[in-house]
Amino acid sequence: MTNEDPPIGASRQRAFGGIGRYWRVYRTFFTTSFARELEFKANFLAKIAQNAVWIFFFVMILLVVYGNTKSVAGWNEGDALVLAASVFAMNAVSQMFFFSVTEIPQMVRLGTLDFIVTKPIDSQFWVSIRKFSFDQIGSFVAGVVMLALGLQFSGVHPSAIQWIVYLALMVCSLAMFYSFTLAMMTTGIWLVRVDNLWVLAESATQIARYPMDIYGMQIQRFFTYLVPLAFLATIPARQLVRSLDPAMAALAVLWAAISVLLARLFWRFAVTQYASASS
Q: What is the pLDDT of residue 10?
A: 46
Most confident option among 62-66, 85-89, 167-171, 195-199:
167-171
pTM: 0.84
Mean pLDDT, the chain, whole residue set: 84
Residue percentage of the chain with pLDDT more than 90: 30
Q: What is the pLDDT of residue 192?
A: 66
Q: What is the pLDDT of residue 277?
A: 54
Comparing 35-49, 106-120, 234-248, the range with the smallest average pLDDT is: 35-49
Whether residue 188 has pLDDT greater than 70:
yes
- Pairwise CA distance, residues 60 & 195, whole Å: 31
